[in-house]
Amino acid sequence: MFAPGFAEAHHGWGSYDATKPITIIAAIEEVSLGNPHGMVMLTHEGRKWEVTLAPLSRMRVRGATAELVAAGKQLTAYGYPKRDGTSEMRAEWIEVDGKRIELR
């Protein structure tokens, strides 16, 4: 129903390394806009990445609808990778269809 990683993604910000921001540009493979926070899955440099987004209410307020953030679309995500080296990042902002959405 959703990616295996989805339910694991509930953790504090301290587990992401803000000193090493990365940018991922790739097509969205899976997307889940839900609570406690949304996520997208995409492939970056041969690895499957999970991009952790904001809670649904904030996503809505900032215009990140399911129509905008949809599978198949090109997504740019700027954010911070997990300190433990797993291919997961917390997005500071994402950009789809030329629309930038700040998630903090």
Calculate the alpha carbon distances from 46 to 24, 43, 83 in Å.
12, 6, 19
Which residues, 8 to 67, sit near another protein by CB under 8 A?
A: 8, 10-12, 14-15, 32-36, 55-57, 60
CB closer to another protein, 39 vs 42? 39
CA angle 42, 44, 46 (to 5 degrees): 110
Whole-angstrom distance, CA of residue 13 vs CA of residue 100: 21
Options 6-14, 19-27, 39-47, 69-77: segment touching another protein (CB under 8 A)? 6-14
User: How many chain residues bind another protein (CB under 8 A)?
Assistant: 17
Question: CB of residue 8 vs another protein: minimum separation in angstroms?
Answer: 5
Q: Do the beta carbons of residue 100 and residue 93 sit within 8 Å?
A: yes
Residue with tokens 């911070």: 80
Question: CB of residue 64 vs another protein: minimum separation in angstroms?
Answer: 12
Positions that interact with another protein (CB under 8 A): 1, 7-8, 10-12, 14-15, 32-36, 55-57, 60
